[in-house]
Chains A and B, each alone.
Chain A
Amino acid sequence: MLSTLAMSVPADSNWINFDVPALIQNFWSATFDGLTFGAIYALVALGYTLVYGVLNLINFAHSEVFIVGCYGVFFTLSFLGFGPSVPNLDFWSIVLNLVLALVVAMVASALTAFVVERVAYKPLRKRNAPRLVFLITAIGVSFSIQYLIFLWRGPNPEVALTMFRPTPIFDVFGTIIDSQQLVIVLAAVVMMVFTDQFISRSRTGRGIRAVAQDPDTATLMGVNKERIIITTFIIGGLLAGAAALFYVMRIPSGVQYSGGFVLGVKAFAAAVLGGIGNVRGALLGGLLLGLIGNYGQILLGSSQWTDVVAFVVLVLVLLVRPEGILGTSLGRSKA
């Protein structure tokens, strides 16, 4: 009580304050919330990592691939009659509606990723453009899509849709884990394990790894490079679409033209933290970034600190391990 009161009127002299009792008190809820967000970051981070692994390209437009998925979720659910209030539907119709929204979001995001690749990057590859040109194009595409959505939907966030009221499932150390957190983390982890296995075991996955390692030799060995690139973009898009559903579930008011940008930057940071180009690194980086941000904001007393703490830790980690925690190579990784 005393410590929280001390926090209540921040004077200029003590604008940084370490509120350890608050962190201890909120430790487990911060952990579960952090993991939930981390899982969403990780799904988006996979899109950055895969494309980087194959093309050595930081696809800044990936945040817009994600936000298009969010709009897919929003339109599907509004069309189905969801609103800000808790829907009065039976269990199976909610399931059916959510699955539909998931499919629409995944298709919308994958389609966006596909179009971006075909329209923006492929022509550059044909002309052997230098890498800097790709980077600028990526940023340009990101802003173009963002402001197209702005012109279409205006500056305000869409109405927040409630899909279902999260219910407590079980109690861990006095902290309640709700159905929403559980499903987001589980679904995200399963999808990531699946992606990981797909990359390491399937024929296409082997192709992706081959192109990542050495595109020219891979082509000589009979790998269709163009098809591998497209597949990579589409996988990234599908995962971003799934992340979009979880994101809208968690943050219903997040559907906004600029809504993907910060999340995209954080997902990219997660990919770098874990080791860009490394599938398992994206998972680890995402979860870590979510946790660190959440612990940091509680320790420092305000959610305004989330991003500061997350990015300071990113910088510190990169100082020690510039290649990220798990290293960078998609091609050489045993994954």
Chain B
Amino acid sequence: MYRKKVITSLAVAATLGMLLSSCANQASTGGATTGSGNRIDIPALTKIDTPAGAVLPAGDGKGTCPSTTTLGYIGAETGANAQLGINIFNGIQLAINEHNAANAGCQVQFKKFDTEGDPNKATGPVAQAVSEADIIGVIGLPFSGESKATGNIFEQQGLVHITPSATNPTLTENGWTTFFRGLGNDAVQGPAAAKFLTGKLEAKKVYLVQDDSDYGIGLGTATSAALGSALAGTDKVTTGQKDFSAVISKIINSKADAVFYSGYYAEGAPFDQQLVGKGFTGTFVGPDGVKDDQFVKLAGDASNNAYFTCPCIPGELIPTFESAYKKLANAEPGTYSIEGYDAATVLLAGIDKGKQDRASLKDWVKNYDADGLSKHYKWNDKGELQAPTVYGYKIAAGKIVPIGPIGE
């Protein structure tokens, strides 16, 4: 008896559901068209110039060193953000392979230590690496959080390390003499992004949304300061946030024609997707934390309004590097591959010049002044590059492609 009632009720519920779902879509037939707005068309970059006298890992082929000489990579090999680490250590591996092939008398070893990209797990691998006397130089750590947590250990042991990707500006404020940054920091990226928005993208009113990470807050502050009167408003979101409807209402009501999202792609992608879904026709700009193929995958066709800023150089446009990398890694160079390659080159060049202990290699990096494949490498006394470049990227046919240096 009860059962009969239940079944009847279920049937009614299902029918109701069906009726309602049909209402849902009645409206959608008219809405299939998505206006792309009046988007600025910036041509994609197809090649970049490499410095003519760039130092390459091969050197002059006359390097000699003990067979125990070792360089290390410390950073993510596994974990949620592993892809970035993989991009980097493949770049390093390529540099070391090229060096060893050309220099029969100097076969440099390469050791990797996995931090999973997690500040809480980074101390162990770093302590292990610094305790191995054969390791005279390190490329890493890739992320700002883990770099902050472990910089002291390197400093105590006098082990030089070049980060190919950590961009938090405060990392060089700790008085560490062993820390060098192989790219521009967020104090450079923020103003460059602001200039990109109001210049090339011709945005009149920019709405800035930042997440709650150190990276997002730092970059958001730098960018909003540089935007000045073009800033239409700001809002904050939380890591892991899924619903952005209130933020989006505010953006649409503010009549902003561009949105800058200071955070990572995990929130950036659904945010952009909901933004476009709510009828926003302006542009969406994200920094290096958003510049990832995952963004395109997660946001779908909504990502067509997206541009990116990144202090990274598009290594895929350097043909010699691209083909060699592809042969090694069986994939296109990713974000920060070329930075890893260049950082390793700096250290390898020192080893070839006879700087084969920690102290002399550290001095070598400190006084380094030469072109790498991607840019000129010369650090100031804090360990910041003196002339970093920020690149703009856009989406073309579902792929992230470079459109050239911005902010200059």
Q: Residues of A with Cβ closer than 8 Å to B?
A: 4-5, 7-9, 22, 25-26, 29-30, 33, 36-37, 83-86, 88, 90-91, 94-95, 98-99, 102-103, 106, 155-157, 159-160, 162, 164-169, 176, 178-180, 182-183, 186-187, 190-191, 194, 198, 202-204, 207, 224, 227-228, 231, 234, 238, 242, 249-254, 259, 294, 297-298, 301-304, 306
Contact = CB atoms under 8 A, between A and B. Distances in A.
A194 B13 contact: yes
Contacts of A9: 221, 224-225, 234
Interface in B68-118: 80
Which of A30, A98, A253, A304 neighbours the largest number of chain B CB atoms within 10 Å of its CB?
A: A253
A190 B300 contact: no
Given A4-B232, A186-B20, A191 B300 contact: no
Contact of B28 (A36, A164, A191, A254): A164
- Which 4 A-B pairs have CB atoms at the shortest separation, nearest pair first? A84-B300, A167-B31, A179-B27, A164-B28
A304 B29 CA distance: 35
A323 B253 CA distance: 39
A252 B28 contact: no
Interface in B20-34: 20-32, 34
Contact of B249 (A4, A26, A169): A26
Nearest to A255: B242
Contacts of B358: none
Contact of B273 (A156, A162, A182): A162
Contacts of B28: 91, 94, 164-167, 179
B231 A304 contact: no
B253 A198 contact: no
Contacts of B301: 84-86
Contacts of A88: 32
A303 B235 contact: yes
A309 B29 CA distance: 38
A212 B23 CA distance: 36
Nearest to A203: B5
A162 B274 CA distance: 10
B236 A203 contact: no
A332 B273 CA distance: 46
A259 B254 CA distance: 31
A183 B24 contact: yes
B52 interface: no
Interface string B251-268: 011100000000000100
Contact of A99 (B12, B17, B30): B17
Contacts, number: 209
Given A162-B277, A303-B235, A167 B30 contact: yes
Nearest to B252: A29
B300 A83 contact: yes
Interface string B274-315: 100111000000000000000001111110000000000000
Contacts of B32: 86, 88, 165
A294 B12 CA distance: 33
A166 B25 contact: no
A186 B237 contact: no
A301 B29 contact: no
A289 B208 CA distance: 27
Given A8-B231, A303-B241, A33 B249 contact: yes
B193 interface: no
Given A252-B273, A302-B236, A304-B237, A186 B278 contact: no
B243 interface: yes
A172 B122 CA distance: 54
Interface string B107-135: 00000000000000000000000000000
B296 to A, nearest CB: 9
13 contacts: A8-B208, A26-B246, A33-B249, A84-B301, A91-B28, A95-B22, A95-B24, A98-B25, A159-B298, A165-B277, A166-B31, A168-B31, A294-B246
Given A94-B25, A190-B20, 8 more contacts: A37-B243, A91-B29, A95-B24, A176-B279, A183-B20, A249-B24, A251-B274, A253-B269
Classify chain B: how many residues form its interface, as a range: 35 or more
B31 A187 contact: no
A98 B301 CA distance: 20
A298 B17 CA distance: 33
A84 B297 contact: yes
Given A95-B21, A204-B6, A238-B10, A298 B250 contact: yes
B9 interface: yes
A204 B5 contact: yes
Which of A33, A167, A180 neighbours the largest number of chain B CB atoms within 10 Å of its CB?
A: A167
Contacts of B247: 303
Contacts of B17: 99, 102-103, 106, 187, 191, 242
Contacts of B273: 84, 160, 162, 252-253
Contacts of A94: 25, 28
B13 A191 contact: yes
B253 A29 contact: yes
Contacts of A294: 245-246
B356 to A, nearest CB: 42
Nearest to B249: A29
Nearest to A1: B232
B371 to A, nearest CB: 39
A251 B26 CA distance: 20
Contacts of B13: 106, 191, 194, 238
Given A33-B245, A202-B9, A204-B2, A85 B236 contact: no
A30 B249 contact: yes
A33 B248 CA distance: 11
B397 interface: no
B395 to A, nearest CB: 13
Contacts of B140: none
A26 B253 contact: yes
Which of B12, B17, B247 neighbours the largest number of chain A CB atoms within 10 Å of its CB?
A: B17
A203 B2 CA distance: 7
B302 A304 contact: no
A179 B31 contact: yes
A176 B20 CA distance: 20
Contacts of A165: 28, 31-32, 34, 277
Nearest to B29: A91
A123 B280 CA distance: 53
A183 B13 CA distance: 15
A50 to B, nearest CB: 14
